[in-house]
Structure 1
Amino acid sequence: MRCKGWKMIDHTSCDAGGVSVGTAEAWRGIDWSRHLGEVTVDGRRVKYVDHGDGPPLLLVHGMAGSWETWLANIPALSESHRVIAVDLPGFGGSDPLPEADTFDGYVRTLEVLLDELAIPSVAVVGHSLGGLVALSFAAALPERVRCLVLVSGGGAELSAARLRAIRVVFWCLAAVLTIPGAHRLLTTPAVVRAVTKPAIHSGRDVPVELLRRMMPRRVGPGFMDAVSRGSAQLAALEPRRITAPVLLVWGRHDRILPVATGQQLDRSLLQSRLVVMEEAGHCAMFEQPEEFLALATNFLDMQLIDRKGPATDRASARSWEAPRAEGDAANRYGDGNAG
């Protein structure tokens, strides 16, 4: 059997890791207001969701995202983990960083959040900008990070042309969201799919109700500042300082951060494995949620049980083997590996 995104919504088990097909729809039946929380970091409100029990897992969204970026994943992950999904400063319900703050403000936000929740160490899952935040957190506070899962994560230096293109995309989105009534227009099915097309390989496979929930409702003052801070951090980050095991999940059709970027990042990390998902773009975690969940949960289980200490030389997370599905699905796991 092949587990493929949203196209099989029933309760049959997926051979790729025991995740039941249909878990990606479980978010619909949860009263999320019961799981919302708030902490104060340097006088600023930071919103988060806290769901489930078990080893703690911190989810960090990307640009234009919020904790709702992970709606398709939180219910399944929370079956075996305490899942904390944060709104980074300037996104979702969190107040922005002061204009003069550097990228370190995002790292401090995660540190204080975990302190307030009395969590000494955590596995971190980050998407895009959130991947860069996760790597920066692991570099600054290695004792607090057990392992990392990055979905099309920032961390490799980008060309000036690509950085300009990314700025233009988010500047356009920010400009549209300032128009009165724009959010109502942006939640119509045709417009939702058009707006998300640069990030999603096959938008018709993702329920429009989920895309509506994830669309930003406003543009805060910290929205575009995050792009500038991220650009500066890409030049400052030293991936070889990161000793935690890292699973890199990339979509073959990622038009924002191509697979070559993931390969570059994989080569620069001490202990990593790059897995390419053939039917995904920039947002594999909700484009192909069942396949992503199978990979992520298998990796997390192995690392949280078998972690033998920090890496000191280049390795490829050999204690972990990607789960295999039947048929042609088996051949695509691990084909992005550089190590």
Structure 2
Amino acid sequence: MQSRRPFLRPWRACLVAALLLSMVDASAAAEVSAQETRVPGTESQRIDEPVFGGQMVVYEAGRGNAREILLVHGIGDEAARDFRDHIAWLQKSFHVVALDLPGFGASDKANVLYSPGNYARVLKVVAGRFLHGPFALVGHSMGAVVSLRYAAAYPDDVLRLALVDAPGVLHSSSTTSQYLARFGLEFVPPAADPADWLVNLARKLLAPLQQLRLDPQVILSSAQLRQSLLGADPAKIAGLAVVSEDLHLELPKVRAETLIIWGAQDTLAPLRTGKVLALKLPRARLSVIERAGHELMLEAPERFRTVLEPFLERGLPPAPARAAAPLTKRGEGTCRNERNKVFEGEYDSLILDGCRNAEIRNARVRELHVLESTVTLDDSDIGGGETGLYAYSSTIVMTGGRIEGNVAIAASGSRLDLAAVEVEGREAAVTARQRSYVVFSLSRVRSPRVRGEVHEFYAVTAKNPL
């Protein structure tokens, strides 16, 4: 028990300090002067928030409007100012409420757990005080993940949901590139861009912590570890929490119509995540803004408005009735020691041998062999016979689609990153002659050993198939 005392004393000190502070400052809210307003065109208030026990700043515009909208920013001290180019047009039709989330902007900062779940509770406080019925909810970056949490927890509150360039969402082993970086791979698929701040965070923080066998949740839940390992920095705490967030059970609870908006050149949150959200949310549509990156509200404000405004006014348009175009029959296909080759259509068999950055998209392949290659697959169906996918010393990233067979995937010394993929193996989902690694993000697996929604990292061996 003595070894635990150093960890208990600071918690007691924090509790005493919080009680003393609550006795010293009992005011419920304080007006922020006009000179201090950080978001042009708004009125602001500093209010007490009970989730973290500090104060936060809330901004309002267009108070007389019946329709209401709540704007949630991402990581960064600009905070609610990220929406400054859009307040003017929004307030013509909406009562607009924005906020500096605790830890950012003009709100209080502390060494506390700035997680999407806790932030969703903060939004509930703001909604209960400033909004009067179902409202539109718009979240950017981390704010999009917070908004997903809120829409899942309080579905009756959200009339329409707009998600802009959400990081995380995929399994942390995919999102942070730890699944790939830990093996020293030269090729990093689009699923994990090396410029991603989440990747940098993971490489600096998660890799050594994993060697120490420290679960990120252990770090996040400990004030001492947040201080010693993250410097009590709200951005690092919130970033690690976003990386670690598991939404696979929450997405089906979202009932609101959802517009997913993505910058095509976003290097911080890969477009792959937007595609996965569009596939997994019950009522969702993806809109991609070309020549825009992660801060697309600021980079392309007019095009952002052109996409968002019709959705706020009328919701999602009816899905166009399109008959699936027949796939061009290709018979057998091969790729040997080539780069950047693209495959589409229907194949009886396809062999990739020594190919780099190959792409398979909108395809149907009865039997796929991947040998010492790197390949991405999008919206493709693999299998139909004994084994769907053979993977030997290869890296495979797949988004959407299906893999099936008596054995869906037969791997050997390979790494597979599957997101929103259905895998059905009548005898096994994945087997491996030599140890192989599979990360499932928001996928569905059906085999004698695994059944249902899967959001997990597996090391598969000959003795431990899936």
TM-score (normalised: structure 2): 0.46
- Structure index of larger Rg: 2
Residue equivalent to 2:22: none
Question: Alpha-carbon deviations, 1:85-138, whole Å to 9, x = none?
Answer: 111110101124662565321011100011121433211111110000001000
Query: Cα–Cα, structure 1 residues 105 and 283, in superposed 2: closer, same or farther, change >3 Å?
Result: same
Q: Which residue of 2 aligns with 1:72?
A: 85
Structure 1's consecutive aligned runs of 4 or more residues displaced over 6 angstroms after TM superposition are none
- In the alignment, the residues of structure 2 paired with residue 136 and residue 169 of structure 1 have an alpha-carbon distance, to the nearest angstrom, of 25
1:91 to 2:68 alignment: no
Structure 1 pair 98–319 and aligned structure 2 pair: CA distance change class (3 A) = farther
- Equivalent position amino acid for 1:293 in 2: R
CA 97–163 in structure 1, closer or farther in 2 if over 3 Å, else same: farther
In the TM superposition, residue 156 of structure 1 has moved relative to its aligned partner by 2.7
* Residue of structure 1 equivalent to 2:276: 264
1:46 matches 2:59: no
Question: 1:275 Cα shift?
Answer: 0.6
Report the TM-score, using the length of structure 1 for normalisation. 0.63
3-state SS of paired residue (1:267): helix
State the Cα distance separating 1:139 from its structure 2 match. Answer: 0.3
In structure 2, relative to structure 1, the CA distance for the partners of 1:255 and 1:108 (3 Å cut) is: same
Whether 1:223 and 2:254 are equivalent positions in the alignment is no
Aligned equivalents of 2:319 and 2:89: distance in 1? 20
Distance 1:34 1:247, change over 3 A: closer
Using the TM superposition, give the Cα deviation of residue 140 of structure 1 relative to its aligned residue in structure 2, in angstroms.
Answer: 0.4
1:36 matched to 2:44: yes
Counterpart-to-counterpart distance in 2, 1:120 and 1:97: 31
Matched to 1:227, the amino acid is G
Per the TM alignment, residue 230 of structure 1 is displaced from its structure 2 partner at its CA by 1.3
Instruction: Report the alpha carbon displacement of residue 170 of structure 1 after superposing the two structures with TM.
Output: 6.6
Q: Which amino acid aligns with 2:197?
A: I
CA contact (8 A) 1:155 1:265 kept: no
Structure 1 residues 161 and 141: alpha-carbon distance in aligned structure 2, compared to 1, 3 A threshold: closer
Once residues 246 and 83 of structure 1 are traced to their aligned partners in structure 2, the CA distance between those partners, rounded to angstroms, is: 19
Amino acid at match of 1:44: G
Larger strand fraction of residues: 2
2:256 maps to 1:244: yes
C-alpha contact (below 8 Å) 1:58/1:124 kept by paired residues = yes
1:157-306 pair list within 5 angstroms: 157-160=170-173, 162-163=175-176, 165-167=196-198, 221-235=233-247, 238-303=250-315
Say whether the 8 Å CA contact 1:47–1:93 is kept in structure 2.
yes
Match of 1:151 in 2: 164
Whole-angstrom distance in 2 between the partners of 1:34 and 1:259 = 32
Cα distance in 1, alignment partners of residues 311 and 159 from structure 2: 12
Quick check: 88-97 or 137-146, which moved more?
A: 88-97
User: Identity, % of aligned pairs?
Assistant: 30
Asked if structure 2 preserves the Cα contact closer than 8 Å seen for 1:166 and 1:256, the reply is yes
Structure 1: 5+ residue stretches without partners: 1-29, 173-218, 304-316, 322-335
- Aligned-partner SS, 2:132: coil
Does 1:63 pair with 2:51? no
RMSD: 3.1
CA contact (8 A) 2:167 2:268 kept: no
Deviation, 1:301, is: 0.4
- 1 CA distance for matches of 2:314 and 2:41? 32
**Over residues 31-89 of structure 1, what are the superposed CA-to-partner deviations in whole Å (9 max), with x where a residue is unaligned?**
83861122211131111210114211111111114010011111111111111111111
Tell me the distance in 2 between the aligned counterparts of 1:233 and 1:104: 9
Further displaced range: 48-57 or 229-238: 229-238
CA contact (8 A) 2:158 2:256 kept: yes
Aligned residues: 237
CA contact (8 A) 1:171 1:224 kept: no
- Separation in structure 1 between the aligned mates of residue 84 and residue 39 of structure 2, nearest angstrom: 12
1:242/1:270 contact within 8 Å kept: yes
Aligned equivalents of 1:291, 1:33: Cα separation in 2 = 21
For residue 105 of structure 1, what is the aligned residue in structure 2?
118
2:159 aligned partner, one-letter code: R
Counterparts of 1:111 and 1:279, CA distance in 2: 35
Amino acid aligned to 1:39: I
- Would you tell me which structure has more helix in proportion to its own residues? 1
Q: Contact conserved, 1:90 with 1:220, CA < 8 A, in 2?
A: no
Please tell me whether residue 131 in structure 1 is matched to residue 144 in structure 2: yes
**Tell me, what secondary structure is at the counterpart of 2:256?**
coil
Question: Aligned partners of 1:68 and 1:171: how far apart in 2?
Answer: 27
Q: For 2:285 and 2:248, how far apart are their aligned partners in 1? A: 23
Higher relative contact order (CA 8 A, sep 6+): 1
**Residue pair 2:113, 2:237 contacting (<8 A) in 1 also:** no
AA partner of residue 294 (structure 1): T
Structure 2 CA distance for partners of 1:264 and 1:286, relative to 1, 3 Å? same
Structure 1 match to 2:363:
none
